[in-house]
Structures are given as C-alpha cells and as structure tokens.
A and B are shown apart, each in its own frame.
Chain A
C-alpha cells in the first residue's frame, strides 16, 4: 500500500525556519517525482515545490523561491522541505504528493505549519 506521511510542522515565528519531512513506503521511491502542495486555512490548493526522481531537478512556486528548498534521500525514502524566512502567509497545511502521468496520484495526510508571533 502506498503511504506518504508528513511530519515537522508546528508553530514558528516570522523569519524563522522549519524542516518538513515526507516519509514514503509501499512503492519504489527512487522511481517517482514528489511535490509539496499547501493549503492555507479556508483556501484552495497551491503547488509549492517539485523534485525529480533522482533529485537532480527541482522547481518552486514564485511565492517560495529563494526561501524554500526541496531535497530527497532515496536511501531513506524521504523528501524534505526546508523552509526559511517564514512569513505569516506561509501558514498552511503542507501535503506531499507522488506525481505520475495521472497527476498527483497519492497524497499524505498533511502537516500544519503556523507562522505567528
């Protein structure tokens, strides 16, 4: 069974940093691209970051470019999202999602990030 489990969310002050993790199981992790998607309270879905299966290619939404870094460890079946210079508008539930030709085929349950003083 494919599983994605996010962790690392919490309360952080503006300007601070957090690192989210996405632990994958139930499939050959190194074959799949992974994305992070976020959802602010009461709002819609916003794509945040992408990483290729090997980790050699990454891409970011303009809203997080230069502040967030996506990476992966294929030996540990983990994807990370390092979030620096956090802003109030980064407050959201963050989901990791496995990409395929179908779109975002599998999603984790999400982890809540709150940026507030």
Chain B
C-alpha cells in the first residue's frame, strides 16, 4: 500500500511564475490536508479537502493560492505569481477520517 505521494520533491520557480504541487493520498483515504513549513518553524495548516469539496481553507492566503481535490486524480495546490516569501516546504497529509494524519515527503518550493 503506497503512502502519500507528492510531486515534485523540489520545485524551483522565478518570481511571478506559477507553482503546481500534487498530492495523491493513500489508498482508501478521502481526506487531504495541506500544510506549509517555513525553516525553523512549525507546520501551518492551509486547507482541508474531501473529494470535490473544500471543507476548510481558513489557513490559505486569500490571494494567489488555491486548492482542489477532483473526483479523479491528485489534489493540487496552486500558487500563482509566486513571490520569495512563498519559498517553503509544502506537506500534504491524508486521512481515512479522524485525526491521524499520514504525511507525504513534501515539496520544497524555492522561488528565485
């Protein structure tokens, strides 16, 4: 049973470009969470999704950030017009329900 799969592992973008981060949850998991981690900081909740629904996006910046979890395919975290402050590790986690989260290996985004 494969774990949570995130890709790419590393993503380099120039300021103003778009970043797309993908997350495939564990088999049988319908709950997906996105977290952001800045260097030397804790994980910060961004968004919680279930299939085709955004349940809670209270941790997402109001502009430039969006997330989706379509009926088919991975969950996507999209950052438009990236800025240097977006550089961070973005972790996706999945759950079958309940509070135990299983994390992917993360995507390290670097904005030049």
Q: Do A and B come from one complex?
A: no
Q: Which residues of B contact A (CB under 8 A)?
A: none
Q: Which residues of A contact B (CB under 8 A)?
A: none
